[in-house]
Every structure is written in structure tokens, then in C-alpha cells.
Amino acid sequence: MSAGNKTLDDVRSTILSAHKGSTLEDKITFYDSWAENYEQDLVLLDYRAPGLAASRISSHFSGDREAAVVLDVACGTGLMAKQMKNQGFGHFVGVDGSMGMMKVAQESELYEELKQCVLGKEPLPVQWAGSFDVVVIIGALSAGQVPVCVVRELCKSTKPGGYICMTTRGNQENLDYKAALVSELKQMEAEGVWSCVEVTEVEKWERGVSEKEDGYIPGAVYLYKKL
């Protein structure tokens, strides 16, 4: 089936098939195979996270955007970099576990460097510590994907005074993960690692994919500043 003939139900079936693979290798294989149609499928889902996140970063970032370096964690095919480019940001480094996704991201010609890294299994490169003006992880912080503990690595990679932007879904199946994520974010704030700039709760985040989800599901954007 060509991408142009797909329906929302087709995309839902594709995404739900990813949950059948229980191992990390299964998930990476799924994303490798999905890469070619990924962006077209997300249009059918009305996936709004990259645009919403880029808008929230843009509203607070007051530095030189053209000179700023953005670390795009779980970058996929480059949707977030495209949105950040539209907001005036000029330099991007991407990380993802899927070589198939990164191949598409490379074709966008937005990234100065792309590195394969399986988040939660492998740490971000130590030489990146304190290197980035903005660090983003959009869409990957959810149950069955990237563990909550990864947010500490995001902070380590950020310059003092830099921003870290994270998103997660608020649907029923992700509520426990979201609660654990919020707890970790607040714990790091209590430790004096970063400060919360804003939390934006969005009712219509994307169209739901499970049988229990009728219509849109909610989501949230978390924006923090490293101290």
C-alpha cells in the first residue's frame, strides 16, 4: 500500500504492531521499517508534539538562535529539527536508536552530526557534557520506549543556562509513566539541577491509536532551564 492511500486505521495498525515486539531489538527493527512512511503516517495522526515543543522553546529562548546548538535526542526522521529551523535555530546534532530513521534524517541536511545511541541502554557521549544550548526529546518519553532516568543525561549534556524540552503523552496507558516522569523532574529541581520554566498541558495532542482511545489523546510539554 502506498503512503498516499493509507487511512488512519492503517496507521493505527502499524503503530499497534510495534507493541507486539517485546525486545529492544524488535522495537528498533520496527522503527527501521517504519522510517520511509513515518512522517506521512504522523500527518494522519495529526501529531502536534514537534510544533508545540518548538513554539514553547521559542517563546523563552533569548540567545542567538542561529549560533545555538540543539541536541535532538530520539530525533527520528528530523521532524523536531525542521520545526526548530523554522524558529530560527541553526545547528543540530541528532541521536536515535534506529539507523533507518537516521538515514531519513540525514537526507534532510539539517544535522551536522548523527549518532546511533539506544537510550537507556547506552549513555549519551560523555564528551557532550555541558555542550548544548538546547536539548530536546520529543515523543520518546513514554511507556515501553525510553526510561525516565534518561532525563538526567539530557541535563548533563546541556550548558548552564540552557534549556531542556521534553514531552510525554497523557493517555490512560501512559499515566503511570507520566507520573514517574513528573516525579523525577521535580526531584531534580529539588536537587538544584534545573528549574522549571513552564509545563504546558495540551488536550488535543494527537489522535489515539488503541481501541480504548476515541478521538484525540492529551499530552504535555515540559521546559526546564539548567542551573
The whole-number pLDDT of residue 21 equals 59
Task: State the Cα angle at 49 between 114 and 56, rounded to 5°.
Answer: 95
- Which three cell numbers, joined as nine digits, stand for 92? 543540530
The whole-number pLDDT of residue 15 equals 81
Q: Which of 145, 80, 137 is nearest to 111 (CA)?
A: 80
The whole-number pLDDT of residue 2 equals 47
The whole-number pLDDT of residue 126 equals 87
Q: Do the beta carbons of residue 136 and residue 57 sit within 8 Å?
A: yes
The whole-number pLDDT of residue 19 equals 67
Instruction: Reduce the DSSP state of residue 126 to 3 states and report it.
Output: helix
The whole-number pLDDT of residue 213 equals 82
The whole-number pLDDT of residue 14 equals 84
pLDDT in tens, the chain (227 residues): 445 578 988 888 888 876 665 688 888 999 999 999 999 999 999 999 999 999 999 999 999 999 999 999 999 999 999 999 999 999 999 999 999 999 999 999 999 999 999 998 899 998 999 999 999 999 999 998 999 999 999 999 999 999 999 999 999 999 999 999 999 999 999 999 999 999 999 999 999 988 778 899 999 999 999 99
Q: For residue 224, how many C-alpha atoms fall within 13 Å in the half-sphere facing its CB? A: 30
User: Which phi and psi (to 5°) does residue 103 adopt?
Assistant: -65, -40
Judge if pTM exceeds 0.85. Answer: yes
